[in-house]
Amino acid sequence: MRFDVLTLFPDLFPGYLGQSLLKKAIDRGMVQVELHDLRRWSKDKHHKVDDRPFGGGPGMVLRVEPVVECVEDVQRRANGPGRVVMLTPQGRKLNQQIVEELAQEDRLLLLCGRYEGFDQRVVDLLQPDEISAGDYILNGGEVAAMVIIDAVVRLVPGVLGEEQSTVEDSFSTGNRHLEWAQYTRPREYRGHKVPEVLLSGDHKAIAQWRREQGFLKTKTRRADLLETPPTELPPPAGSSEPPAQKNEPTKSAPIQDKTKTDN
């Protein structure tokens, strides 16, 4: 898996990429991350890549020429052009399904915005996959690019010690519930005990407890994730029984996205 990060601030990445699972994946040759400074494609003697917006207004806009020419040049450097992802608040909101979709690619070009964003002709010419990290304000797309790298790398075969852990993660395909509560030693701390079922050795009972706990946590905290109404508990795996019908959940009005700067 190869990531090409196109950014004005490449020095933000080495520290992050040099730690933990990401470092191991890179050292083992399972993942490749290349950083490209957009200023290198500027024809301005001061290496400027931004300018004031036509029509007036605050801030600066990233110019079309250095961005498009950087992407085209980087695409020629390896086999296959790769999938261009623009980090922008106007894109579809990142979730685990999108992460799984991106993980199917051999190469991703992550285009990090700054200031007031990109000249619209960057979008018109490159037709990127526009993705937002969420409905909140960031100084630029670099942190969002790190989020995508981190989330996608976990799904690269062999990166994690236990492949099953990605299947059981919250939001993963086949498990749209939040993960159950986890415990380790000691068995008791300040009066708080580990649930007895987890110490029983009964794997069937443990699996049932975890399934129920994950469902209840999802119903309480993220009912929107449930494919069935949040008042229903899905039947155990392999069961042909439909869940019992209860009260329909109340639908809330959609929240409007008022984010401005690049995520």
71: domain CATH number is: 3.40.1280.10
- 169 among known catalytic residues: yes
- 45 located within any domain: yes
**What pLDDT, on a 0 to 100 scale, did the predictor assign at position 165?**
56
* Of 2, 39, 83, 154, catalytic: 154
Q: Give the structural domain span for 47.
A: 2-153
Pair (131, 238) in one structural domain: no
Tokens representing residue 260 in the block: 């401005």
Mean pLDDT of 228-236: 48
Looking at the structure, do residues 147 and 181 belong to the same domain, yes or no?
no
User: Would residue 116 show up in a list of annotated catalytic residues for this protein?
Assistant: yes
pLDDT (mean) for 36-49: 95
The number of residues in the chain equals 263
Task: Convert the pLDDT of each residue in 7-38 to its tens digit.
Answer: 999 999 999 999 999 999 999 999 999 999 99
Helix 142-153 and helix 20-27, axial crossing angle in degrees, nearest 10: 70
Please state the rounded mean pLDDT for residues 117-132. 97
Instruction: Answer yes or no: is pLDDT of 196 > 70.
Output: yes
Q: Return left, alpha or beta for 47; rule: phi > 0 is left, psi -120 to 50 is alpha, else beta.
A: left
Query: Rounded mean pLDDT of 50-67?
Result: 96
For the segment 112-120, the average pLDDT, to the nearest whole number, is 95
**Residue 164: what residue type?**
Q
Mean pLDDT of 250-259: 41
Domain count, the chain: 2
Tell me, yes or no, if 119 is annotated catalytic. no
pTM of structure: 0.78
Q: At 162, is the pLDDT very low, low, confident or very high (cuts 50, 70, 90)? A: low
The strand pair at 61-62 and 50-51 is best described as antiparallel
Q: Confidence band (pLDDT; 50, 70, 90) for 254?
A: very low
Which among 50, 116, 129, 142 is annotated as catalytic? Answer: 116
CB 42 within 8 A of CB 49: yes
The pLDDT, as a whole number, for residue 170 is 52
Query: What's the burial of 65, exposed, middle or buried (CB within 10 Å: 0-12/13-18/19+)?
Result: middle
Q: Give the model's pLDDT for residue 248.
A: 43
**Out of 15-19, 46-50, 204-208, 225-229, which region has the weakest mean confidence (pLDDT)?**
225-229
Set 69, 130, 168, 169: catalytic member: 169
Q: Which secondary-structure segment (H or E) carries 124? A: helix 120-126
- The answer to which of 49-63, 69-83, 154-168 has the lowest mean pLDDT is 154-168
237 vs 49 pLDDT, higher one: 49
Using 50, 70 and 90 to split pLDDT, how confident is the model at 169? low
Q: Are 215 and 148 contained in the same domain?
A: no
Would you say residue 164 has pLDDT above 80?
Answer: no
Task: Give the span between the Cα atoms of 85 and 102, in whole angstroms.
Answer: 9
> Which one is catalytic: 89, 129, 211, 232?
89
Same domain, 41 and 120: yes
Active site residue 211: no
The reply to whether 24 falls in a domain is yes
